[in-house]
Every structure is written in structure tokens, then in C-alpha cells.
Amino acid sequence: MGLRYHAEMEKTDGLAAEHELGRASVFIYGRPHNFKPLVRQWQDEASVHPTARIIETLGQSTIAIPQVYTFSANTGSYDDFPTHYQIENVKILTGLHTDAVILKPGQAAGIVTGDCPTIVLENTKTGEVVAAHGGRDSNIDRQNIDTGIPARPHDGVVASVLDYTKWRPDDLHVFVCVGIAPEHFEHPWNDPTYGESNRAMVKWIIEKYGEQCVLGNPEDGRIDMFALIKSQCVQSGIDAEHIQCDDLDTYSNENLWSHRNKNKRDGRNLVIVSCKEKIEP
């Protein structure tokens, strides 16, 4: 997977980083843009105007923006989106509660995030790409941990994508980008409100996905989301050598919003993933 990473882009337009993968282009937009209205207020056409301008600048005519705040671990495609906005030369698809979108060549999706990473899967055989919300609750079924009763068919979004597409794991490359670093993602066991739930979750993660998914003392609950996602991918049959991340930390990077950083918590980032029509030689 060829990777090109620019840590410092033009800050005036909010482009914090750009990645070029084999089948996908990834553009990460953060401050000063605030994409929070796309989370729940997408019914208002005015809320999607900034996205339309960005998409047109990138040379895209259509983008799908799933509603990821329910952490459903569902997978969908362009045809599933019920709401369409036409803003000059750009069409915005939205209104679908799903965590992952299958992209065919020429299609793009926008994942709205605070501290949750975005997962990009590329199928080297079909030329398709997946853009997926990779947050904690998109990757583990909290209800199942707390009650023993699953809330959904799949524990996490990676398993959901593989079941939906029936893709061969050997054909897949995975790239995880722009999430919170584990040292800032604490779930302490002594928390007066969430301590018992945190303890159960951390122990479950370690037992199912390995000690590498928690940084340092387990009682601090510093969950490493990339390690967790990587472990899920490997358990699904994806080659560990085909899984990468960009180490871009939302908490400490001044160009990005962060829900856990009280100084930057009131906004959302937008990760745009486009599936290339063809790979340049």
C-alpha cells in the first residue's frame, strides 16, 4: 500500500492531512471548519454547504455522509441513503444510520469524527473501498459486555463489512487514520460513575483481542484503538502486514477537534475518502 502523508497542509482551508493509498484518496479536514452540524442537523440543507464546497474543490460530484453517532456497526452502500441534496454541482447523500459505506470507483464518503478513528479498507481485486467509522463503540458491543445480550449481529464494524461484502481477507489492505492516542483515551476503573463498566470493558478487550490493546496499567483503561482494530482485522484473516495507521492524534494536534480535549471539544472533523477511478501508473 503506497502511502503519502503530509502532516502540515494549508491550514487556511482546514486540510490537516492527506493520504494517497492504492485505491483510495483520504483528506482530513479539521479546524477552523466545524462539521458538527452534519452529525444530527443534516436535515438542514445549509449544514452541508461547507462540505459541498470542499467536495467540488476535490473534483468530486457526489459524497455520502452517513450518520455514525448511533455506533450501529452497520454497513451500507450509495443506494441505501434516503436523503439527497443538490447544491450547485455537488450531490450530498445523507440520512442513513450506518458506520461503513462501500464505495465503487468514482464514489466518495465523509466520516464525521471527534476522537474516533476512520477505517479505510481497499479491495485490491475489485477496486472498491470502504470508509468506516472506527470509534470504540463501533468496534465493541458495549451492551453485550454489560449484559451478555448482543445489541447487533456483529461485535464490530470490520466484521460487519466482511459479512456484507463477502470479500476475501487476502485481497484487503487496511488503513486507520486520525484517532485519539491511547495515552489520552482513559477509562479508569476507579471512576465513581463508570468504573465498573470500564473495568468490564477493558478486561473483555484484553481477553478477546490481546493485552496490546490497552496501554500501560489496565486499571487506567488507556485503550489503543489502532491495536484493537488491527487485532480484529487479523482475527478476521487480514494479513497484519497489510494494516497501517497514520498516528495522527486528535487530542494533541492543534489542527483537529477532540471531544476529550476540553479546549477543542465543541467541533467535529471530517474525513473524506474517495475511491479512485483508476490507479495512476
Alpha carbon 233 to its chain centroid, in Å, reads: 14
pLDDT digits (tens, 9 = 90+) for 98-144: 999 999 999 999 999 999 999 999 999 999 999 999 999 999 999 99
Kindly state the greatest CA–CA separation across the chain.
57
- Separation between Cα atoms, residue 132 and residue 72, nearest integer Å: 11
Residue whose C-alpha is closest to residue 180's, from 135, 229, 116, 268: 116
Q: Which of left, alpha, beta for 187 (phi over 0: left; psi -120 to 50: alpha)?
A: beta
- Whether the link from the prior residue into 150 is cis, omega within 30° of 0, is no
Q: Are 18 and 26 in contact (CB under 8 A)?
A: yes
Q: Per residue in 218-257, pLDDT tens?
A: 999 999 999 999 999 999 999 999 999 998 999 999 999 9
- Least Cα distance to 260 among 207, 187, 197 occurs for 187
Strands 90-94 and 62-64, bridge-based pairing: parallel
Threshold 0.85, pTM exceeds: yes
Residue pLDDT, tens place only, 56-88 = 888 889 999 999 999 999 999 999 999 999 988
The pLDDT value recorded for residue 280 is: 56
24-62 pLDDT, tens digit each? 999 999 998 899 888 876 777 777 777 888 888 888 899
Q: What is the rounded CA–CA span in Å between residue 218 and residue 257?
A: 27
The 8-class DSSP code of residue 97 comes to B
Instruction: Quote the CA–CA distance of 52 and 221 in Å, as a whole number.
Output: 39
Q: Tens digit of pLDDT for each residue in 180-203?
A: 999 999 999 999 999 999 999 999
* pLDDT on residue 5: 34
DSSP assignment string, 232-264 = HHHHTT--GGGEEE---BTTT-TTS--SSSTTS
Question: Residue 118's beta-bridge partner residues?
Answer: 133, 177
Superfamily name with CATH number, domain 11-185+224-275: CNF1/YfiH-like putative cysteine hydrolases (3.60.140.10)
pLDDT at 279: 64
